[in-house]
Amino acid sequence: MALTTIFFLILSIVAIGTAFGTVASKHPVVSAMNLVLHFMMLAGLYLTLNAQFIAVLQILVYAGAIMVLVVFVILLLNLGKEDDVDTRFNARKGVAMTFGAAFVVQILVLFTSAGSFTHEITAESVSTGYVKNLGYKLFTEYLFPFEFIALLLLVAVVGAMVLGKKKLFLERDLQEKSLK
Amino acid sequence: MIEAIPLEYYLILSGTIFAIGSVGVLTRRNAIIIFMCIELMLNAVNISLVAFSSFMGDASGQIFVFFVMAVAAAEAAIGLAIVLALFRNKRTIYVDEINLLKW
């Protein structure tokens, strides 16, 4: 077995394990820490695919920015343990798990029966994920979506600020009117 | 000659993680954990996009992943602000106790 395959197997087993940890742990902070580890493993998997830029972004954006935000919100809400995660097993959970298992079986059957797709690693195939390559494509072919995503982020920032206010504008206006 | 890891390994991994995430969304009550499971599902899709991109030798898939990450960041900011506003008004983030819009 090639060294990269062993590397892939270790990374993917830890990734699936931490994904289970995220879903199944009682405490939200334990879930968040599992998810951080999961994102690290995914960054490693992107490196096995020669996508260096995406691997760095994964660490910076997901493990860095988004998870810090999640942990801060857990801290602000002061959440304790969820007391009845494992004790309550109802029909809804059974249906959800059946659908999940069916999906995995379907994927396994589909991709093991389709045959193996592999390719040779050459200098050209490795260069796909270079920053130079991606930057060129981003600023030529995908320039409009790139500019548009800036607008989306601006809207998200304004929206988050409005939602985070103690009272929404509408409520304050109503109160002022009732005072008059 | 160096052979790359077969494409279907990545696709099976991606499908498995997506299924775990979707089961989490359907079974958990805590809104923050549901949010984290949505991130799991987004990342599962990213794996298959990067895998296809690297196997086709086309950088477009990695550009899509870049956009998915930007949308996920925006979603994180808005989603967590909604969770905070919900907690401020209802004193709970368990989704089965939030039934304001329930018919």
Given this model, what pLDDT does residue A176 score? Answer: 63
Which residues in A120-149 are b (16+ Cβ under 10 Å) and which e?
ebeeebeebbeeeebeebbeeebeeebeeb
Given this model, what pLDDT does residue A40 score? Answer: 95
Which segments of chain B have a pLDDT < 70? 1, 103
**CATH says A1-84 is which class?**
mainly alpha
Q: Where are the domains of chain A?
A: 1-84
Domains of chain B (ranges, CATH numbers):
7-91 (1.10.287.3510)
- The model's pLDDT over A68-111, given as tens digits with 9 standing for 90+, comes to 999 999 998 877 666 655 555 677 788 888 888 998 898 888 88
ipTM computed for the complex: 0.92
CB–CB contact A70 B23 (8 Å)? no
Chain A residues lying within 8 Å of B54, measured CB to CB: 49-51, 125, 128-129
Question: Smallest CA–CA separation between B82 and chain A, in Å?
Answer: 6
What percent of chain A shows pLDDT beyond 70? Answer: 86
Q: Is the pLDDT of residue A180 over 60?
A: no
CB–CB contact B84 A164 (8 Å)? yes
Chain B residues lying within 8 Å of A124, measured CB to CB: 57
Where do the H-state alpha helices sit in A25-62? 28-48, 52-57
